[in-house]
Structure 1
């Protein structure tokens, strides 16, 4: 991976997912009492969700840079359609990884404001995918993207991995 591309991916990650997963939840839980009311019973499952969600995000960011020659940032998207790695089984694993981390935060704190925030982020992701990303990818990659969409679910997880060749 080229150093400048790696820097752009890191910068985007610190700003956007950092804001969604760390800065804004911290603000919502800024009352010191919220930080002391961690649901200890959910600590291990939440920790596992956080690790899995971060691993998913990092793998997707890697695939965007290496296979797609771009970044997760909408202003510098991959130049090639990324259909490898986790993208072979679901079309939006990066968003799913972020939502998994938010779910873990909700399990740990059970704060109504944080739960509402996580729900609004999930809705925002869905609207973004349906009304911005999918039309953009369709116009950029045409038949290749349409073939991909027929085989790989938007949010679910396909048991059969994507095959780039039409069957």
Structure 2
């Protein structure tokens, strides 16, 4: 039973990585680019609502995904991975919910602050994480988990969520 209880080390590492990676990528850098200067959308409040929904959804799914890593006794950081393949929660719908969440938060800020710089930055972030997934993450997970990961990869899309959860 003790094996199922997440360690303090997993939680501390996960929280630290949360601030170091997405905190910088989806928080600090967008602030440096846009200055978080509000754009007055006036009567087009629906745009502001949509922007906040994109940011909030990104935050919620990012925190959910990070929590799953700690619950699986590891962190999202490649230097301190989980003991088991994470295929629960949001990972039953899409293989890369963290990356999608981060890009959603950046694009929400781009809309909220009317920043083409943030749109360009979001494209750069997406290209970078896509290259990281293809060049490092997928080969590493295949090597580590073998057929279990390959089966998961065959059934769960990487970037566009499934309608129903995978129950593999």
TM-score by length of 1: 0.89
Asked if residue 141 in structure 1 is aligned to residue 145 in structure 2, the reply is: yes
Contact in 2 for aligned 1:38/1:108 (Cα 8 Å): no
Match of 1:125 among 109, 129, 150: 129
SS of 2:79's equivalent in the other structure is coil
Asked if residue 56 in structure 1 is aligned to residue 61 in structure 2, the reply is: yes
* Structure 1: gaps (5+ residues): none
Q: Number of aligned residue pairs: give it.
A: 160
Q: How far did 1:10 drift? A: 1.0
* Distance in 1, Cα, partners of 2:49 & 2:138: 36
Match of 1:80 in 2: 84
What's the CA shift string for 1:24-47, capped at 9, x where partnerless? 1111124xxx71435463221111
Q: How does 1:40-55 map to 2 (within 5 A)?
A: 41=45, 42-55=47-60
Match of 1:106 in 2: 110
Match of 1:22 in 2: 27
* Distance in 1, Cα, partners of 2:40 & 2:127: 26
Q: How far did 1:88 drift? A: 0.6
TM-score by length of 2: 0.89
Contact in 2 for aligned 1:138/1:145 (Cα 8 Å): yes
SS of 1:11's equivalent in the other structure is helix
Match of 2:37 in 1: 35
